[in-house]
Structure 1
Amino acid sequence: MNVTVKFLGGAGAVTGSKYLIDLGEFEFLVDCGLYQGARQLRERNWDKFPMPPMDMEAIVLTHAHLDHIGYLPKLVKQGFSGPIYCTEATAELAKILLLDSGKLQEEEAEYARKKGYSRHENPEPLYTMEDAEAVFPLFVPQAFEKPFEINPNVKVTYYHAGHILGAAIVKIVVKGETQEKRLVFSGDLGRYHDPVLYPPTRVPFADILWIESTYGDRISPPVKAEDELGRAIRDTFDRGGLVIIPAFAVGRTQLVMYYLFQLMEKGKIPKVPIFLDSPMAINATKLYQDYKSDHQLAAVLEEDDRNPFDHPQLHYFQKQEQSRSLNEYRGNAIIISASGMATGGRVLHHLFHHLPDEKNGVIFVGYQAEGTRGRRLIEGEPEIRIYGREVSVKAKIYQIDGLSAHADQSELLDWAEGFSSKPKITFIIHGEEKSASTLGRKLEEELGWRTVIPTYLESFMLFENI
Structure 2
Amino acid sequence: MLTLRSLGGAGTVTGSKHLLSSGDHRLLVDCGLFQGLKNLREQNWAPLPIQADNIDAVVLTHAHLDHSGYLPRLVRDGFRGPIVSTEATRDVAELILKDSGHLQEKDAEYANRKGFSRHSPALPLYGVHDAEHAMSFFRTAPLHQNVSLPGGATLQLRRTGHILGAASAEIRWAGRTIVFSGDLGRYGDPVMVDPEPVPEADYIVIESTYGNRLHDHADPAAALGDIIERTASRGGTTVIPAFAVGRAQALLYYLWQLKQNGRLRNIPVYLDSPMATSASELLCRHHEDHRLSAGTCAQACNVATYVRTVDESKALSANTYPKVIISASGMATGGRVLHHLVAFVQDHRNTVLFSGFQAAGTRGRDMLQGAREIRMFGQWIPVRAEVSELPMLSAHADAAELMRWLSGFRRAPQRVFIVHGEPEAAEALRMRIGRELGWNAVVPRQDQAFTL
Please give the TM-score of this superposition, normalised by the length of structure 2.
0.93
Which residue is equivalent to 1:349? 339
Structure 1 residue runs of 5 or longer lacking an equivalent are none
How far the C-alpha of 1:231 sits from its partner, in A, is 1.0
Deviations, residues 366-416 of structure 1 (Å, cap 9, x unaligned) = 234455443444455555555566656554333222111111111111111
- 319-328 or 193-202, larger mean C-alpha shift: 319-328
Residue 394 and residue 441 in structure 1: after superposition, are their counterparts in 2 closer, same or farther (change >3 A)? closer
Q: Distance in 1 between matches of 2:375 and 2:13?
A: 27
Residue 249 (structure 1) aligned with residue 244 (structure 2): yes
How far the C-alpha of 1:303 sits from its partner, in A, is 5.2
Which residue is equivalent to 1:33? 32
Q: Distance in 2 between matches of 1:29 and 1:278?
A: 31
How far the C-alpha of 1:162 sits from its partner, in A, is 1.2
Question: Is residue 56–residue 150 contact of structure 2 (8 Å, CA) maintained in 1?
Answer: no
Aligned residue identity for 2:228: I
How far the C-alpha of 1:107 sits from its partner, in A, is 3.2
Q: Distance in 2 between matches of 1:430 and 1:240?
A: 40
Out of 223, 231, 234, the position equivalent to 2:226 is 231
How far the C-alpha of 1:184 sits from its partner, in A, is 0.5
How far the C-alpha of 1:417 sits from its partner, in A, is 1.0
Q: Distance in 2 between matches of 1:308 and 1:84?
A: 32
Question: Is residue 267–residue 323 contact of structure 2 (8 Å, CA) maintained in 1?
Answer: yes
Which residue is equivalent to 2:88? 89
Residue 382 and residue 145 in structure 1: after superposition, are their counterparts in 2 closer, same or farther (change >3 A)? same
Percent of aligned pairs with the same residue? Answer: 46
Out of 195, 199, 208, the position equivalent to 1:200 is 195
Deviations, residues 76-97 of structure 1 (Å, cap 9, x unaligned) = 1111111110011111111111
Aligned residue identity for 2:319: Y
Aligned residue identity for 2:156: T
- 388-397 or 259-268, larger mean C-alpha shift: 388-397
Matches within 5 A, 1:139-158: 139-151=138-150, 153-158=152-157
Out of 181, 189, 192, the position equivalent to 1:186 is 181
Matches within 5 A, 1:265-304: 265-270=260-265, 272-297=267-292, 299=293, 301-302=294-295
How far the C-alpha of 1:439 sits from its partner, in A, is 0.6
Question: Is residue 60–residue 67 contact of structure 2 (8 Å, CA) maintained in 1?
Answer: yes
Q: Distance in 2 between matches of 1:137 and 1:75?
A: 13
Q: Distance in 2 between matches of 1:99 and 1:372?
A: 22
- 70-79 or 112-121, larger mean C-alpha shift: 112-121
Q: CA RMSD in A?
A: 2.3
- 452-461 or 131-140, larger mean C-alpha shift: 452-461
Deviations, residues 143-195 of structure 1 (Å, cap 9, x unaligned) = 22222112473221110111111110111122x5xxx4311000011111221
How far the C-alpha of 1:34 sits from its partner, in A, is 1.4
Residue 243 and residue 114 in structure 1: after superposition, are their counterparts in 2 closer, same or farther (change >3 A)? closer
Question: Is residue 196–residue 255 contact of structure 1 (8 Å, CA) maintained in 2?
Answer: yes
Question: Is residue 102–residue 132 contact of structure 1 (8 Å, CA) maintained in 2?
Answer: yes
Aligned residue identity for 1:22: S
Which residue is equivalent to 1:72? 71
Structure label with greater radius of gyration = 1
- SS for the counterpart of 1:68 is helix
Question: Is residue 264–residue 271 contact of structure 1 (8 Å, CA) maintained in 2?
Answer: no
Which residue is equivalent to 1:367? 357
Corresponding pairs, count? 452
Residue 403 and residue 58 in structure 1: after superposition, are their counterparts in 2 closer, same or farther (change >3 A)? same
Q: Distance in 2 between matches of 1:248 and 1:348?
A: 13
Matches within 5 A, 1:42-441: 42-114=41-113, 120-151=119-150, 153-174=152-173, 176=174, 180-270=175-265, 272-297=267-292, 299=293, 301-302=294-295, 307-310=299-302, 313-380=303-370, 386-387=376-377, 393-441=383-431
How far the C-alpha of 1:68 sits from its partner, in A, is 1.0
Structure 2 residue runs of 5 or longer lacking an equivalent are none
Q: Distance in 1 between matches of 2:73 and 2:433?
A: 36
